[in-house]
Structure 1
Amino acid sequence: MNDQLELRDLIYFQRIATLGHVGKAAEQLHKTQPALTGSIRRLERTLNTRLFEKDGRNIQLTAAGKLLLQRSQSILASVQDVAEEIKELESGEKGQVKLGLVPTAAHHILLPIIHILTRDFPNIQLKTVIGQTDFLYEKLRERELDLVIGLYGELDDNFECVPFYQDTMVVVANSSHDIFKEDISLARLVNFKWILAPSSVMSRQWLDRAFDLHGFSKPEVQIETNLLLMIPSVIMKTELLSFISRRNLESVDTSKKHLKEVPIAELSMDRFYNVISRREGYLSPAAKCLRDIFIQQGRRIFDGN
């Protein structure tokens, strides 16, 4: 079977399966329809099973076809990794690294990392994408990113995760907020409005669960935004509460209203920043170099030392 299963056939199969139409696949691949049909027939003979079935004018995968699509993606990705690894065998620490970062990580470590690369590794090119953890994981899974600096969540089994920095999320308000004029409790927090990240963000989910576990309704969110780095400025100029990194408490603005932690132990959440890569995926020498910088120097960089 190994002699008969050709990579070219898997490539054609993958495109047909994705589009659900032989004609459209032929147009994209610049091949004739008979050539693609013959490719599918070779695969079906080799595997002794049908891979497609009619669905009106289109076709859809059988159960065997769905399994082959899943496996073929891994096979073709591995082949691509081998080609890249051989090509870059002698390249050393140079080339482009595609790095994804969650907003807080980007705020604290992106400039120091750029400084290190331009000073010590001038042949490494860095392309960055800033986004929420779920978005970055999807880009990593699709091989559009080499590394992700993200927060621990429900990680894919195919990801390798190395923690390098611990952070704490706390409730915050501006220093003159009414919350500080009386005894602070969870029950009182329910009476105020909040600005929070979207419900897809891990810290927001944790906060909602914490209120629920203690028998209170979820925070009343007046403003929801994925521009997380904007939140501290909004808190300082409004009476809204929020849930952000303790590291952001140093921020001030011209109104002289400082951010201040609302001290309540039930709503203190420890979290870890991690450097994340595909477990079986190929990492170029440049990507390995950047990963090692985060692992070895990430804590010092985060702390601004």
Structure 2
Amino acid sequence: MINIFDQLDLRDLYYFQCIATLGHVGKAAAQLHKTQPALTESIRRLERSLNTQLFIKNGRNIKLSPSGELLLLRSHKILNNANDIVKEIKEFDSNEHGQIRLGVVPTAAHHLILPITKILTKNFPDVQLKAVIGQTDVLYEQLEKREIDLVIGLNADLHENFEWIPFYQDTMVVVANSSHKVFQEKVSLNKLSQHKWVLAPPSVMSRQWLDRAFELNGLPKPEVQIETNLLLMIPSVIMQTDLLSFISRRNLSFPDTSGQYLKEVPIKELNMQRQYNVISRKDSYLSLPVKNLKNLLVEQGASIFESQGQAETFL
């Protein structure tokens, strides 16, 4: 029977992870403030315990063996779980509230950040909120690296290590300023392909969906004159130009972009349904404030979205 306590030392595993990432013992020694012989001996202990070779010489550097690649993959989970245990015990003993690190896609941020802030300052005054606004792919990467605790994101391809709970659905539509000439003619995909657009980058799910919709109908992708990842500036751009765009229908009701200036282009073929989810890592420790926020979003996120900021009523 294998005795796990004789097989792996967390410190050796951490040193191994650093060496594997940098591909060089000397660089790892400098980063860890350890001597090279100490790190070499650490790797030898792991190799003796596991009865395998973890590194192979690669010129002046080293690279992982197949066994080393497997250990590196598993080491991330082992060390992350150990870190979670430490955080959980510290919170249990000290009753500290700590920090919520929340990633939010732009449209959700516009509707949810202010209500969430009001709720936290009123009901959890000792909790610090760190809000990161970004596109789904960037936020998922940060969640995987444990740089954030929760993501309010969209129904894109989700990592197998994530769990998600849907809480709100909205619709993406084509929009223009209310005096645009598109409203003076019969609307069709072919007509829309003749106009210029302001859109999000190609990495954004809604942009990909829109491009495919045109291509599936034998038409070229929309001609993009302005491309920006600052999605909340798009309504202002539309109001002051003759560009078309593709945004949430909810943006038509923003106080600073009312229907008097922005108008939906009526074409059902380009109505895209999208789902907002609360996303976290599977089997990962969540502090009490993070759990409270997650539960709030699952149970009342849709109502908060619809209320446009009347946060006081939700707790």
Secondary structure at the aligned position of 1:123 is classed as: coil
User: How many Å apart are 1:247 and its aligned residue?
Assistant: 0.5
Q: Which deviations, in whole Å up to 9, do the C-alpha atoms of 1:219-274 show, x marking residues without a partner? A: 00010000000000100111100000000112476999511111111100011111
Find 2:5's aligned residue among 3, 6, 18. Answer: 3
Find 2:36's aligned residue among 21, 33, 51. Answer: 33
Q: Look up the match of 2:164.
A: 161
List aligned pairs for 1:82-231, cutoff 5 A.
Answer: 82-90=85-93, 94-231=97-234
Q: Does 1:57 align with 2:73?
A: no
User: How many Å apart are 1:126 and its aligned residue?
Assistant: 0.6
- Number of corresponding residues: 305
- TM-score (norm: length of structure 1): 0.96
Find 1:293's aligned residue among 285, 288, 296. Answer: 296
Q: Which deviations, in whole Å up to 9, do the C-alpha atoms of 1:105-158 show, x marking residues without a partner? A: 111111011111111111211111111110011011000000111111010011
State the alpha-carbon separation in 2 of the partners of residues 254 and 198 from structure 1.
22
Unmatched segments (≥5 aa) in structure 2: 311-315
- TM-score (norm: length of structure 2): 0.93
Q: Look up the match of 2:313.
A: none
Q: Which deviations, in whole Å up to 9, do the C-alpha atoms of 1:271-304 show, x marking residues without a partner? A: 1111111012110011101111111111111011
Q: Look up the match of 1:303.
A: 306
Q: Which deviations, in whole Å up to 9, do the C-alpha atoms of 1:152-186 show, x marking residues without a partner? A: 10100111101111110000011111111111001
Secondary structure at the aligned position of 1:172 is classed as: strand
Letter in 2 for 1:210: A
Secondary structure at the aligned position of 2:157 is classed as: coil
CA 1:29–1:93: 2 relative to 1, 3 Å: closer
Identity of aligned residues (%): 67
Letter in 2 for 1:205: Q
User: How many Å apart are 1:87 and its aligned residue?
Assistant: 1.2
Letter in 1 for 2:222: P
Unmatched segments (≥5 aa) in structure 1: none
Secondary structure at the aligned position of 2:187 is classed as: coil
Find 1:265's aligned residue among 263, 268, 271. Answer: 268
Find 1:79's aligned residue among 66, 71, 82. Answer: 82
Find 2:72's aligned residue among 69, 72, 87. Answer: 69
